[in-house]
Structure 1
Amino acid sequence: MAALRYLNLSLLILFPVAWFAPLLRAGVNLPLFGLEEISVVSGLQALWETDVFLALLVTFFAIFAPILKVVGVALIQFGQMRRRMLPALNFLGKLAMADIFLIALYIVVLKGVGMARIETGWGLYLFTFCVVASILVSFLTGRRRA
């Protein structure tokens, strides 16, 4: 159980790193043009300028849902919250996974158009690892007895 606690608590550090890490590099598919790195935070900044409702949704999916889940699971692991809350916390993890799906979908669509050049960044892999690790930790926490 101690390893699960440490893994879960490490996500409190890894998630913020993933939010600022480059998810992808995008640019015009022409020579001599560089690629701009896009992170969760830089993408949110751009969204706030153009579509506030979508920015609120993405902020909830990418930032609040994962952190609320990690904190909730930590509270369960340390006996400060009842295990009955675990299904609700698992739902939060699925919302964060939806965010990764949308990012992957955007990459596929943009690559298919052919006018933009898209490269995945290490932040996408880190963010995916954090979400999957969070889902795994909550699953294993639910299987353990208090």
Structure 2
Amino acid sequence: MPLRLATLSLLILYPIAWFAPLMRAGILPIFGLSEISVITGLQALWGSDVFLALVVTAFALFAPYLKTIGLALVQWDLLDPRVQPVLHLLGKLAMADIFLIALYITLAKGISYVTVETAWGLYLFTGCILASFVLGHMTERQLRSGNLSA
């Protein structure tokens, strides 16, 4: 049961992570720093680059959430366990978003007049993605042993 509850908790934590501040950025700290979340970043992207916005939306919102829903359905015996490879692929796509955020922070820190500080939402979002990987692996192991009583 704890495995199932942990998976279901991700369905609550992901939306919190999407609205939580990932970073604070601005031109020189004396001008103040704007908080950037997954959602505010997506809003800005939709206004400037629709293709990139679609890609990031798929990585940041749909991939991790669909993987978690699928994992919960497998754990509750409502979805065939043979979908595990697809869920694993969705998890990899979700991790790509963390890479994009890290790349953005690294590039922005390289510009001398820009200040970027990581915020608690980045750690929450990363933790959700990593927890999803661990829960997926644990579910897979329990399925192989025939003991998915979670």
What TM-score bracket applies, with the shorter chain setting the length? over 0.9
Shift of 1:128: 0.2
- Aligned counterpart, 1:111: 109
User: Equivalents in 1 of 2:113, 2:95: separation in Å?
Assistant: 28
Shift of 1:36: 0.1
Unaligned runs of 5+ in 2: none
**Partner amino acid for 1:65?**
A
TM normalised by structure 1 equals 0.96
Of 121, 129, 132 in structure 2, the residue corresponding to residue 131 of structure 1 is: 129
Partner-residue secondary structure (3-state), 2:104: helix
Unaligned runs of 5+ in 1: none
User: Equivalents in 1 of 2:45, 2:16: separation in Å?
Assistant: 20
Q: Which deviations, in whole Å up to 9, do the C-alpha atoms of 1:26-71 show, x marking residues without a partner? A: 000252x100000000000000000111101111100001110000
User: Equivalents in 2 of 1:28, 1:113: separation in Å?
Assistant: 10
Aligned pair count reads 144
Q: Which deviations, in whole Å up to 9, do the C-alpha atoms of 1:115-141 show, x marking residues without a partner? A: 200000100000000000001001100
User: Equivalents in 1 of 2:135, 2:26: separation in Å?
Assistant: 37
2:71 paired with 1:73: yes
Partner-residue secondary structure (3-state), 2:77: coil
RMSD of aligned Cα (Å): 0.8
- Aligned counterpart, 1:17: 16
Partner-residue secondary structure (3-state), 2:24: strand
**Partner amino acid for 1:13?**
I
TM normalised by structure 2 equals 0.94
Q: Which deviations, in whole Å up to 9, do the C-alpha atoms of 1:58-106 show, x marking residues without a partner? A: 1110000111000000110000111110111011011111100110111
User: Equivalents in 1 of 2:79, 2:5: separation in Å?
Assistant: 18
- Aligned counterpart, 2:96: 98
- Aligned counterpart, 2:38: 40
Distance 1:30 1:120, change over 3 A: closer
Q: Deviating runs (4+, > 6 A) in structure 1?
A: none
User: Equivalents in 2 of 1:143, 1:115: separation in Å?
Assistant: 49
- Aligned counterpart, 1:4: 3
